[in-house]
């Protein structure tokens, strides 16, 4: 009886084992299969920053084709991505994040931008432990305090507002500047406001502030207010088309002012103000197309090859394209170095361990254990409207009040 029971038990075990062996092997990591890595992104495809959303998705499409066709995938896996439209709205961003994680089941979320949208999902990122690489947002809370799964790469408006005051006092040699700020009334603009406030406290200066709503197009009230306060040097935080509108409005009301635009204004849309844009200042952490670095030339050739010259003509006029492309090359290198046994945790470890990265002049990227601030140095640019270019007037520098020390 015992022998018969043992034989039955052994037969059952064999059947279970055979069944288990017949099940196809799948990756234990979400979004990773034997032949594919699925990424996700949320973009403003139909809101106030839709032109930036289209830049991001164009860069992602070129990156996908480059990896799959030119590199033949990553360790035998092809890459793909899905897009959710968040309209630059924080509530819709939370919905988009949930869909990407729970419905699409992506491995990682990549190439996203927007201070207000990204701020809305900080707790979601912590909870889900999904790598988000990188956020192109101007706010300090993207990297301070650091979140293990959230990487930041852009220009910090807090840094740049401090740099504006540094530049006015130390480079322009203005002794008692009358300072102001015109900023979008959300986390993006409030970060710039905090930076200006920090700098003014350091130098013992005062400033005037005028906020505008995300949907604003008429900045007459802001221009009138800052003019009435005698502002001579004004930091601007917001989209490039609205920046151009501010320059036009300042001209209409007779407000004589020198403007310092944040990195989002380093865009051809700033030229909508025509010669009013000439001589104004901007901040940037990326290589510029007219500098002709090897990295820019490679990126340009790749976009021409993948999209066709006519289709690529507009994207390649975008000064911000290295902001999207440079991290994608960095991500590709990290994925290659992780190896075939790809997990979210291994990717995060690799992203923070790569040192002194610069894709041949496109811009420096540097993370580290507990450091999610990918950019530390910036240049001051000056607009040359006749050439339709932004020309560096300084080398790369950090603000006098450095991050982590203020």
Residue 310: what pLDDT? 66
Name the one residue in this structure whose structure tokens are 């005698």.
Answer: 230
**How many Å apart are CA 327 and CA 342, to the nearest integer?**
19
**How many Å apart are CA 43 and CA 156, to the nearest integer?**
20
**How many Å apart are CA 59 and CA 64, to the nearest integer?**
9
Are 222 and 243 in contact by the 8 Å Cβ rule? The answer is: no
Phi-psi region of 72 (alpha: psi -120 to 50; beta: other; left: phi over 0): left
Residue 349: what pLDDT? 97
Q: DSSP states of 314-329 as a string?
A: TGGG-TTHHHHHHHHH
**How many Å apart are CA 327 and CA 333, to the nearest integer?**
10
* H helix or E strand, kind and range, residue 269: none
Are 41 and 81 in contact by the 8 Å Cβ rule? The answer is: yes
**How many Å apart are CA 164 and CA 171, to the nearest integer?**
10
The SS3 call for residue 158 is: helix
Q: Is the peptide bond before 288 cis (omega within 30 degrees of 0)?
A: no
Q: Where are the domains of the chain?
A: 36-154+289-375, 157-284+380-392
CA separation (Å) from 350 to 95, 98, 151, 337, 338?
Answer: 29, 25, 12, 8, 7
Helix segments in 23-77, DSSP class H = 50-65
Taking each continuous run of H as one helix and of E as one strand, the counts in the chain are 13, 14
pLDDT string in tens for the chain (406-residue length): 444 544 544 444 443 334 434 333 445 799 999 999 999 999 999 988 888 898 899 999 999 999 999 999 999 999 999 999 999 999 999 999 999 999 999 999 999 998 889 999 999 999 999 999 999 988 889 999 999 999 999 999 999 999 999 999 999 999 999 999 999 999 999 999 999 999 999 999 999 999 999 888 899 999 999 999 999 999 999 999 999 999 999 999 999 999 999 999 999 999 999 999 999 999 999 999 999 999 999 999 999 888 887 666 665 567 788 999 999 999 999 999 999 999 999 999 999 999 888 888 999 999 999 999 999 999 999 999 999 999 999 999 999 999 888 8
Q: DSSP states of 89-148 as a string?
A: -HHHHHHHHHIIIIIS--SEEEEEE-HHHHHHTHHHHHHHT--EEEEE---GGGTSS--T
Equal CATH topology for 36-154+289-375 and 157-284+380-392: yes
The residue count for the chain: 406
The SS3 call for residue 81 is: strand
CATH fold of the domain at 36-154+289-375: Rossmann fold (3.40.50)
Residue 317: what pLDDT? 64
Pick the CATH number of 157-284+380-392 from 3.40.50.300, 3.40.190.10, 3.10.580.10, 3.40.50.2300: 3.40.50.2300
CA separation (Å) from 206 to 50, 147, 209, 282?
Answer: 36, 34, 10, 21
Residue 6: what pLDDT? 45
The dihedral built from the CA positions of residue 303, 309, 312 and 313, taken in this order, carries a sign that is: positive
Residue 138: what pLDDT? 86
240, 330, 326: which is closest to 287 by C-alpha? 326
């Amino acid at each position: 009886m015992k022998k018969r029971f043992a034989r039955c038990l052994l037969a059952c075990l064999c059947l279970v084992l055979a069944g288990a062996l017949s099940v196809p092997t799948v990756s234990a990591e979400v979004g990773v299969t034997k032949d594919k890595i699925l990424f996700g992104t949320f973009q403003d495809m139909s809101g106030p920053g839709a032109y930036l959303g289209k830049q991001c998705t164009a860069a992602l499409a070129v990156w996908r084709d480059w990896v799959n066709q030119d590199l033949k995938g990553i360790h035998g896996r092809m890459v793909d991505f899905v897009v959710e439209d968040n309209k630059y709205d924080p509530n819709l961003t939370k919905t988009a994040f949930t869909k990407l994680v729970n419905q699409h089941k992506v491995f990682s979320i990549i190439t996203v931008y927007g201070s207000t949208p990204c701020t809305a999902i900080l707790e979601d990122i912590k909870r889900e432990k999904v790598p988000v690489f990188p956020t192109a947002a101007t706010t300090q809370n993207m990297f301070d305090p650091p979140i293990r799964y959230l990487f930041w790469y852009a220009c910090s408006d807090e840094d740049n507002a401090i740099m504006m005051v540094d530049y006015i006092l130390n480079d322009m040699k203005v002794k008692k500047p009358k300072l102001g700020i015109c900023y979008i009334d959300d986390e993006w603009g409030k970060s710039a406001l905090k930076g200006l406030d920090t700098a003014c406290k350091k130098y013992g200066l005062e400033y005037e502030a005028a906020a505008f709503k995300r949907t604003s197009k008429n900045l007459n009230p802001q221009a009138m207010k800052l003019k009435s306060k005698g502002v001579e040097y004004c930091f601007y935080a917001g989209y490039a088309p609205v920046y151009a509108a501010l320059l036009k409005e300042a001209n209409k009301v007779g407000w004589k002012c020198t403007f310092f635009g944040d990195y989002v204004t380093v865009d051809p849309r700033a030229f909508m103000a025509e010669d009013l844009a000439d001589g104004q200042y901007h901040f940037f952490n990326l290589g510029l197309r007219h500098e002709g670095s090897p990295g820019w030339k490679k990126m340009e050739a790749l976009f021409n090859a993948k999209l066709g010259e006519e289709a690529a003509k507009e994207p390649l006029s975008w000064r911000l394209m290295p902001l999207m492309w440079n991290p994608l090359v960095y991500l590709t290198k990290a994925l290659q170095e992780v190896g075939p046994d790809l997990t979210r945790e291994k990717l995060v470890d690799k992203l923070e361990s790569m040192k002194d990265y610069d894709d041949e002049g496109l811009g420096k990227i540097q993370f580290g254990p507990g450091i999610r601030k990918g950019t530390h140095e910036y240049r001051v640019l000056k607009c040359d409207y006749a050439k339709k270019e932004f020309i560096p007037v300084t080398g790369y520098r950090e603000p006098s009040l450095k991050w982590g020390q203020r």
